[in-house]
């Protein structure tokens, strides 16, 4: 019922460890099992996790992480200098959907970018003016994801990559100038 860490989780962790600063206030959106967040604990000033799944929220609490059960960061009235998100970025075909919380962790909606688009649209509400976001995306999301980022007035850079046999994964750093 909780998304198990995989290559995308490892990529987010690798980039987050390079990016995080002691003075950062960090939120990991869709933190799932806590694989990334628990390794960032103590490396920043403040750390919050969010997840839409009640099972993930329970697991995050068990690991001693501060968690808000919500969709993306809806209702969180704080801004963060570092926002991390490994979203669902694939479009799950109907016959593969089981109707459980794991679907929510894996299905990115139409074209695999609906959840990413909602996240990008929420960034101004949760990102400090000089903050950075790290977003994991797939080669399946190209080029739409870059158009979405630029269309919202953000700058971006690819700061990490993983080549899998069926796709490429990217860690995209997003910020405003």
Domain ranges of the chain: 7-175
Task: Say what the pLDDT of residue 89 is.
Answer: 75
Task: Say what the pLDDT of residue 93 is.
Answer: 65
Task: Say what the pLDDT of residue 112 is.
Answer: 79
User: pLDDT (tens digit, 0 to 9) for every residue of the chain, 177 residues total?
Assistant: 687 888 999 999 999 999 999 999 999 999 999 999 999 999 999 999 999 989 999 999 999 999 999 999 999 999 999 999 999 877 756 656 566 555 556 656 677 788 899 999 999 999 999 999 999 999 999 999 999 999 999 999 999 999 998 899 999 999 998
Among 109, 69, 66, 114, which residue's Cα sits nearest to residue 91? 109
- The model's pLDDT over 114-133, given as tens digits with 9 standing for 90+, comes to 889 999 999 999 999 999 99
Q: Is the peptide bond before 143 cis (omega within 30 degrees of 0)?
A: yes
Secondary structure of the chain as H, E, C letters: CCCCCCHHHHHHHHHHHHHCCCCCEEEEECCCCCCCHHHHCCCCCEEEEEECCHHHHHHHHHCCCCEEECCCCCCCCCCEEEEEECCCCECCCHHHCCCCHHHHHHECCHHHCHHHHHHHHHHHHHEEEEEEEEEEEEHHHCCHHHHHHHHCCCEEEEEEEEECCCCEEEEEEEECC
Query: Domain 7-175 falls in which CATH fold?
Result: Rossmann fold (3.40.50)
């Amino acid at each position: 019922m909780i998304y198990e860490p995989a290559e995308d989780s490892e990529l987010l962790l690798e980039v987050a460890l390079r990016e995080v600063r002691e003075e950062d206030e960090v939120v990991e959106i869709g933190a799932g099992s806590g694989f990334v967040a628990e390794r960032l604990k103590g490396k920043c000033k403040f750390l919050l996790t969010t997840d839409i799944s009640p099972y993930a929220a329970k697991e995050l609490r068990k690991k001693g992480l501060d968690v808000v059960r919500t969709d993306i960061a809806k209702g969180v009235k704080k801004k963060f200098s570092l926002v991390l998100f490994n979203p669902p970025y694939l479009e799950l075909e109907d016959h593969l959907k089981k109707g459980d919380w794991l679907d929510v962790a894996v299905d990115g909606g139409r074209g695999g970018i609906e959840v990413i688009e909602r996240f990008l649209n929420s960034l101004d509400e949760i990102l400090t003016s000089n903050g950075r976001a790290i977003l994991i995306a797939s080669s399946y999301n190209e080029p739409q994801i870059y158009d979405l980022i630029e269309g919202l007035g953000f700058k971006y850079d690819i700061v990490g990559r993983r080549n899998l046999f069926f796709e490429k994964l990217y860690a995209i750093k997003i910020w405003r100038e």
